[in-house]
Chains A and B, each alone.
Chain A
């Protein structure tokens, strides 16, 4: 999932129109349209669902029924990186709460939220079984252990830097 702050909403809806026009005359293409729409918007907010509903003349209840059925679809915006803070007992007593607070403070978001720039989504996860490294966080598939609140900024900065670099590269 790339970050999509460089596109304006209008451009996204233009893309959505192209997607709908490409598939609307074929039967059974709703899931394909929703998948492509999610690629454009990053998730499927209610507005996008109702837009698709109007354009395809399918009741929004049907659209939402499909969106909520399949785990691939998300109705909440998601960040490029999902941070999972392990809240298992060992991590908790080793100070996971403090680490979580440090991340919340650093990113100015709450658990379950995503940063404004769609870079990070913060989640509190169940025990990931790495109690020996407690406290543990995961960022996408990367595991970081034995953390203290003071480690947080440098770890996050690494991802912010990578992202900035890729944005600059894209701008050429």
Chain B
């Protein structure tokens, strides 16, 4: 038995910051130093603290090293493994009080978190089925199949747990399973929606990269419950690491006899296949996803009938999101009552959020439902970047809305978010501060929705374009007050008349910013000003008369020679009629005298 285990993150974030090189170097050096019987190196899924990657954790002492490069490997082996002294310079320093936090248990970012869906991410090697089994994996499946547990018992347990769909809709999972169980069909299917298209969301990707077997196990159980013998995981082609690991996991499960014919000798057959998404946001909508799995254009159709009745090839189909599936083995293992004891009255369990934007600790977190936004931003996220003023948190991506500072203490769950005009969505959470313009954010999301609209229905295809035109007009300082009324009417019309969830929710970013940040819209329209300094057409680049030291650097970098002045005789002056507002002079000023306003 080795004394030390070194875990190296191999999630997408850390892989991009070259964690592979660290791992290779570790392997090489350990061999060279004949440490193989003392130290073992593992590849793991995402720890969640992506900003500080590559992450390396040394067990048994649980030391948490950040930003590790290949050249640091020698020092880790010499001092930590050799002399038992941790390498101080690679430890995490708290952003709150600058104190060094040595182990994974001390770090602020991991406090307040509770990992259910992510329980194995960063703990096991996702490419080794034995490690998943050692964590108790496939145990439920074995019990269910060998004891021939009645499907209705399992569905009842799920209903009792109160688990709601983690893809964003929040529909009761047990209820969905029951519908799929009740509909008669000579063939049925299980689908896993891993088409995570929201900009700023990477929860599903991390689960597939860090713990693919939990999704596979849940899908087999789902198949057994509803009477399906074939499942499909629909993954975005843009997630190559997730696809690779899922393929490896399915292969290993087949070799172990956990997929295929006669699983555990119970007579139950179930097979899994991967279908790749080809880059269309609308395919996250279940009816569009079903079209895409069948190899066609991903265009949605009206519901009802819901897929549980008429789905893949017109057969009853159960479709759940990755995170929903990842919760299920734990619920069956620890019981519905345990799960229902976590969270709020109508939203049980935990939720994984992808924390990004103007926040110190970006990454992946999992918190109990009902955690306040303040806890997420300040205790876990380490507060706003550069100590700026928090303005809003955007949840639910292009279908969601924003939460202003007044609601920092709101307990986040499905219902509270819906009440304030946002939504849980898949779990992307973008934090914004005073330097973000809410009109511009609305424009950004509408640009996305307009681009990704499949075009099948007019309200979404034409409506989103009209909204975008008005928003662009406002950001260019050409808006009028009646535009706000038109915007609002358009939004409600599109919400009411669109065919699918994409169109029905596309206006949300506009409505929500209008609700909480109407003053910003009015400033853009009436005063032709952008308070956040984002909308370029409304800005002026100016030199502070007090600060300017007349060094002349700005005049030299100006691409259009808009800056004039006399060296050593402050201040210099920017001619607004010539200036193109490129901002090239701003970072060049040695005394920070130039700014946009």
Contacts and interface: CB of A to CB of B under 8 A. Distances in A.
Interface of A: 27-32, 34-35, 62, 65-66, 69-73, 88-90, 93-94, 131-132, 134
B560 A29 contact: no
5 contacts: A28-B313, A35-B237, A70-B280, A132-B582, A134-B559
A93 B580 contact: yes
A130 to B, nearest CB: 10
B297 interface: yes
A70 B294 contact: no
B161 interface: no
Nearest to B588: A132
Main secondary structure of the interface of A (DSSP, over half): helix
Sorted nearest first, the 10 A-B pairs with minimum C-beta distance are A90-B582, A70-B278, A30-B295, A131-B582, A71-B279, A72-B278, A28-B294, A28-B295, A72-B279, A69-B297
B297 A66 contact: yes
B292 A31 contact: yes
A31 B295 contact: yes
A90 B280 CA distance: 33
Given A134-B559, A134-B582, A71 B294 contact: no
Nearest to A127: B582
Interface residues of B, number: 25
Interface string B561-581: 000000000000000000010
Given A31-B292, A71-B279, A72-B237, A134 B297 contact: no
Nearest to A133: B584
B276 interface: yes
B312 to A, nearest CB: 8
Interface of B: 237, 275-276, 278-280, 292-298, 313, 454, 557, 559-560, 580, 582-584, 586-588
Given A31-B295, A66-B297, A94 B588 contact: no
Among B280, B296, B298, the most chain A Cβ lie within 10 Å of the Cβ of B296
B275 A32 contact: yes
A30 to B, nearest CB: 4
A132 to B, nearest CB: 5
B315 to A, nearest CB: 12
Contacts of B292: 31
Given A35-B237, A71-B278, A90-B582, A27 B313 contact: yes
A90 B559 contact: yes
A66 B295 contact: yes
